[in-house]
Structure 1
Amino acid sequence: MIIPAITEKEFEEVRRKVGIVEKQTQSIHIDIADGILVNGETFLDVSLLNTLATEISLELHLMVKNPSDYLSELRNIKKVITQVEGEDIMAFVTASKELGYKTGVSIAPSTSLETLNLFATNVDFVQFMTIEPGAQRRPFQELVLEKIKTFKKNYPNMSIQVDGGINSETLKKVLEVGVNDIVVGSAIFDSEDPVQTLRQLQKQVEEYKS
């Protein structure tokens, strides 16, 4: 599934972008970055998500040093993801599951698979960043594809999501290694027609699977 991603400092931009794609997708990915764990910063008040007038499912990607600080009962949030490079990750996973969220961990391209393996049996899914996390429009890192292949050999039943640098060209590459969900940000929202671009990417996935 293609999941549109929103990475914004101003929450009103989040609201605007949700309105653009909410009728064209099953889920929207909201990035939260503190400028400490990663080189990039977004709005940080996750309670603002409760003000969105939408019924679309949201997933929260916490690129923050202390992810547990951002956990609370939020309307429409179905999935929560944090970077394995943060602190007290197992405490976060436990707390997130207690709140009823589908919980995943995400790994940066420069982080070893051994770090991901520490948490893989305790989460519902994993996410591989195909750019350095923290901002959009960074270059796609093909070395991550080999990491995904290696991980899949050890965890063949694990749901895998990728995030970063995805466009019509790189989409084919991640589909070929066998991922379940694909997070796409700038390729959609930087285009002249975000809805049409989203539809084209969704069609590309459907055609690949058929």
Structure 2
Amino acid sequence: MEASKTQHRHFIIFKPFGCLSQFASNDSKQQSKIFLGSLHDFPEGIMAIGRLDEKSEGILLLTTDGKMSAHINSRKVEKEYYAQVDGDISTEALQELKTGVEIGFDGGKYKTKPCKAMKLEGAPDLPNRGKKIRDDRHGPTSWVSITLKEGKFRQVRKMTSAVGFPTLRLVRVRVGGIHINNMQAGDVVEVDDFGVSVV
């Protein structure tokens, strides 16, 4: 058992704004994009556990272990996001996020599962983003923490938009027990494991 563990390699990265959660693309329109492979010399067989869209930032886990990837992608492991939204988010909107909202998904409608959502007291301490967000001269913004155990395509952005507060900046700050801590955009850390046991 121990021998198989040591064969796999695991990485925590802070995916920067504008980077795609993939290693290459055959799409000619994407050739000028930034890919994960430009951040580090990753081993063969590495895969991203889930994705963050191009404009989203934060923790992305990479592994050579398919079982680990499937477990973390399952609905057992929490993912926490900090979203800067357009406007001063209301108590009513937070309650809607908590209980579940209807979003468009895969050509149909999907009701999100209940989740944790709370307004943050002021802006969190995060690295500067590569592209500046508009400032409060164009109207107030606020920050909300949203913790999910699911991960539909662009789910957090669709959720905040559904309650009337579109997301301006989105950072995944935690996956399970792994926190962003003092990582900076583009940082790559290799770890022995993710502290998650796979049965």
Higher helix proportion: 1
TM over 0.5: no
TM-score (norm: length of structure 2): 0.29
Q: Rg larger in 1 or in 2?
A: 2
